[in-house]
Structure 1
Amino acid sequence: MRTVRVHRAAAAAALVGALVAGCSSGGGSAGSDSAGGKVVVTVDLFGSFGYKEAGLYAEYEKAHPGIVVKQTDTEDEQDYWKSLQTRLAGGGGLADVQAVEVGRIASVTQQQGDRFEDLRRYGAEALKGEFASATWAAATAPGGAVLGLGTDVGPEAMCYRTDLLRQAGLPTDRTELAARWSTWDGYLELGRQYRAKAPGKSAWMDSVGSLYTVMVGQEKERYYDASGTLIYADSPAVRRAWDASVTAAKDGLSAKLDQWSPQWNQAFSAGSFATLPCPAWMLGYIKGQAGDAGKGKWDIAKLPGGAGNWGGSFLAVPRAAKHKKEAYELIRWLTAPAQQARLFRKQGNFPSSTGAIAQVADATDPYFSGAPIGRLFGDAAKAAPVQVLGVHDKNVADQITNALSEVERKGTAPAEAWSHARKGVENAIG
């Protein structure tokens, strides 16, 4: 999940709220070395991976009585990544297991391979057939080293509030909506119709940044081409998503909320927006923020413009970890098909394991009006492009969405905001 799932999810794909297992600054070790004679395997994550909430740690500890799992969690993925870089450079304060968001994995495989364990040392090569080929390839370094195991991917759909759409006189049936917003132009046109009769002070979407993110998630090439050349400034995919987002801001379709902010979290229960582009991992987040009062008010339809991916993550073992073998055994178990299938049914994190994908094909979610989430996200995962990942994908994306925030919240001219984005990218990546 996670922003980027992102993301978390992303997201980047990073997530907070009722689903997180607890927060820390991320600046120190994730726990002591032993407890009552047992080995403490420390896990440091960003956002909500859902392991503790789904009871997976407790189950693992029961099956492995000599192991205690201790997790820390940083709310924002950007803060998490900065802290991780500091600790990797210093060699201290690292957990046995560190999460890596999909927008950062190319940095690990291409620039930091010497700071993470090659999991082939522990037998990971035998797991290759269990994962989607794109997921496995993303965590494999040019020399063949396997530096992480995939936790989830972020196939996308559109989540929406049926009660708000009904009050605005718009259809609520997921099939009809999918037809009406089969293109992004259709989605924006429905948004204008919603704005004309919007209940209360609600907006069509939460932010133009989320619109941009989901649109570029539908493209194979965004910020880099297959040769590793930075192309974002001339990328047709980036330009299309930028122009659509600027149009949405100009037309007043956004609630102008920064994703993952306290105001954004509160907006779920307040009904401040009617639609939300949602990768699979967002489902658990919506439940956590909207609470029991939101059950049955949400539904899910096919995404405008075709399939895409937003977020996904990996679990890696740093070279400086204290318990490397135990860490590998834990992440192998957490990312196995049975555990990934359970997480999807409980949290919405869509599996990167091919076996787990088959297990959840018939899944539905009563919270989201009985939406066939297994089919919706499964079809999206199959149709989503295999994206080219670059070393600084996340940095580029952050600067562009920051610039779009200027457009929607400050009224900055789009050309000026784009110039700010380019300068921000230059400063961020050198």
Structure 2
Amino acid sequence: MSVTTRRTRLAAAALAAITAIGGLAACGNDDDKPAAGEKPAKLVVDTFGEFGYEELVKQYEKDTGIKVELRKTAQLAEYRPKLVRYLATGKGAADVTALEEGILNEFKPNARNWADLNPLVSDHSKEFLPWKWELGKAPDGRLLGLPTDVGSLAVCYRKDLFQAAGLPTERDQVSALWPDWKGFHDAGLKYKQGSGGKAFIDSITAVSNGVLFQGNGDLFYDKEDNIIADTSPAVKNAWDTATSMADISAKAQTWSPEWSGGFKQGTFAATFCPSWMLGIVSENSGAENKGKWDVASVPGGGGNWGGSWLAVPAQSKYPKEAAKLAEYLTNAKSQVEAFKAKGPLPTNLEALKNDAFISYTNEYFSNAPTGKIFGESVAKIQPIHLGPKHQAVKENALEPAMRAFESGQASKEKAWEQFTKDAKTQGAF
């Protein structure tokens, strides 16, 4: 066993030890448990970003008489620490909890913190994308989460800003501008020249995510969960591609106030849009920019950035009812409605074949046929091996190093050196 493997497994053990506190505390006192058959007055659902559940839970309340409280956290970086605290203290967690793919991998080693959904819901194993269903399982076979969405990639762009800069505006013509990443950079330079020097994209970290999640191989970890960030061809390709585009970037850190405001103010003209990002773009851009945005293909083909599952923490007092709510929110009809509301791309096979999904056009995005655009790419999506601390490596090592280069605080070489150093620390604790 290599040193890195030992460190990584020790890291997993450390996380398991911390979250085991939550698993033990979640058992609670029998006096706290509801009486057999007692119906909950309320169930709480924790999500991040935009899941499109607002109208769905209203219908659930009418059907069941159970009130549903949605607790939304805008940023994933703020969501994870709260979840870790809930598990460590054994209290505070929602009855239904959204787990992003990086977080799910991190929590798999200690499945005791999560209810096994196998005995609580019907067998849905044949109803979802097979690889997505399998990723929701713990190593011991426990079903930790029901699949929600995948993050099929596209580019969201401002038609009005493209037109003002002398670029094409029709989505097919725009897609033709960038068959590959060099074409995307060239389009950005043309936009910058035609707009009097304005930035084309929000940040180079957005580019790195787009490139990174097009990979079919290992990213920060190999199959044995050794850290390979400094030797991974996929990571180096994402780094080189993204850093080459610093000259067309607005340098707006994703999720920052400057980034959120930039959509409405036209600080940048394009950003990379996994399907779940559509709701975030429209929310940040506001009603006054409706019809100014459109959706084009991503350079180099498809990709998958993100995706989640709904899980039930073991500390929930109503695991059976919570599981039924998760089941409702992930069924075919609900996934279609959530997509129409905020953009999360269905993983339910029936939903992907649904006429209402396939024919859906998004009015905010100039009536773009987003059902067709994103739906056709689903079959091409391949699961990517993320490893146990993927999220930490990406957010606490890769992206800060890129921002240091982008802002001029470090040379490209020094920034890469800092990334590889921090990746080993973040990836192995």
TM class, shorter-chain normalised?
0.7 to 0.9
SS of the residue aligned with 1:128? Answer: coil
SS of the residue aligned with 1:226? Answer: coil
How far residue 92 of structure 1 moved from its aligned partner, in angstroms, is: 1.9
Does residue 40 (structure 1) correspond to residue 60 (structure 2)? The answer is: no
Query: Counterpart of 1:119?
Result: 117
Give the distance between the partners of 1:47 and 1:298, measured in 2 at CA.
19
Answer yes or no: is the 8 Å Cα contact 2:40–2:318 preserved in 1.
Answer: no
Give the distance between the partners of 1:365 and 1:112, measured in 2 at CA.
40
CA 1:159 to 1:33, structure 2 compared with 1: closer, same or farther past 3 Å? farther
Query: Counterpart of 1:95?
Result: 94
Please give the TM-score of this superposition, normalised by the length of structure 2: 0.87
How far residue 258 of structure 1 moved from its aligned partner, in angstroms, is: 0.8
Give the distance between the partners of 1:154 and 1:337, measured in 2 at CA.
17
Answer yes or no: is the 8 Å Cα contact 2:191–2:200 preserved in 1.
Answer: yes
Q: Please, which of 164, 168, 173 is the counterpart of residue 165 of structure 2?
A: 168
How far residue 139 of structure 1 moved from its aligned partner, in angstroms, is: 0.9
Does residue 311 (structure 1) correspond to residue 306 (structure 2)? The answer is: yes
Does residue 59 (structure 1) correspond to residue 55 (structure 2)? The answer is: no
Give the distance between the partners of 1:57 and 1:366, measured in 2 at CA.
23
Structure 2 residue identity aligned to 1:272: T
SS of the residue aligned with 2:140? Answer: coil
Aligned residues: 391
Answer yes or no: is the 8 Å Cα contact 2:121–2:323 preserved in 1.
Answer: no
Deviations 1:18-63 (A, max 9, x none): xxxxxxxxxxx9xx999xx8521122222222212xx111100110
Query: Counterpart of 2:70?
Result: 71
Give the distance between the partners of 2:46 and 2:359, measured in 1 at CA.
32
Please give the residue correspondences for 1:251-400 in structure 2 after superposition, counting only pairs within 5 Å: 252-359=247-354, 360-398=357-395, 399-400=397-398
Answer yes or no: is the 8 Å Cα contact 1:99–1:314 preserved in 2.
Answer: yes
Structure 1 residue identity aligned to 2:48: F
Give the distance between the partners of 2:330 and 2:425, measured in 1 at CA.
36
Give the distance between the partners of 2:274 and 2:158, measured in 1 at CA.
16
Give the distance between the partners of 1:333 and 1:94, measured in 2 at CA.
20
Query: Counterpart of 2:127?
Result: 130
Gaps of 5+ in 1: 1-28
Structure 1 residue identity aligned to 2:327: R
How far residue 75 of structure 1 moved from its aligned partner, in angstroms, is: 2.7
Answer yes or no: is the 8 Å Cα contact 2:227–2:424 preserved in 1.
Answer: no
Does residue 238 (structure 1) correspond to residue 240 (structure 2)? The answer is: no
SS of the residue aligned with 2:269? Answer: strand
Deviations 1:347-384 (A, max 9, x none): 11111111111111121112212211111101222222
SS of the residue aligned with 1:225? Answer: coil
Structure 2 residue identity aligned to 1:422: T
Gaps of 5+ in 2: 1-25, 27-31
Answer yes or no: is the 8 Å Cα contact 2:229–2:423 preserved in 1.
Answer: no
How far residue 90 of structure 1 moved from its aligned partner, in angstroms, is: 2.2
Structure 2 residue identity aligned to 1:425: A
Query: Counterpart of 1:220?
Result: 216
SS of the residue aligned with 1:321? Answer: coil
Residue identity (%) = 36
Answer yes or no: is the 8 Å Cα contact 1:308–1:381 preserved in 2.
Answer: no
Structure 2 residue identity aligned to 1:89: A
SS of the residue aligned with 2:313? Answer: coil
Answer yes or no: is the 8 Å Cα contact 2:129–2:348 preserved in 1.
Answer: yes
Does residue 154 (structure 1) correspond to residue 178 (structure 2)? The answer is: no
Structure 1 range deviating more: 348-357 or 78-87: 78-87
Q: Please, which of 189, 194, 207 is the counterpart of residue 191 of structure 2?
A: 194
Give the distance between the partners of 1:349 and 1:268, measured in 2 at CA.
20
Give the distance between the partners of 1:112 and 1:382, measured in 2 at CA.
31
How far residue 226 of structure 1 moved from its aligned partner, in angstroms, is: 3.1
Answer yes or no: is the 8 Å Cα contact 2:291–2:365 preserved in 1.
Answer: yes
How far residue 105 of structure 1 moved from its aligned partner, in angstroms, is: 1.4
Give the distance between the partners of 1:162 and 1:123, measured in 2 at CA.
45
How far residue 229 of structure 1 moved from its aligned partner, in angstroms, is: 3.0
Query: Counterpart of 1:5?
Result: none
How far residue 216 of structure 1 moved from its aligned partner, in angstroms, is: 0.5
Give the distance between the partners of 2:225 and 2:99, measured in 1 at CA.
20
CA 1:33 to 1:177, structure 2 compared with 1: closer, same or farther past 3 Å? farther
Query: Counterpart of 1:23?
Result: none
Give the distance between the partners of 2:330 and 2:415, measured in 1 at CA.
41
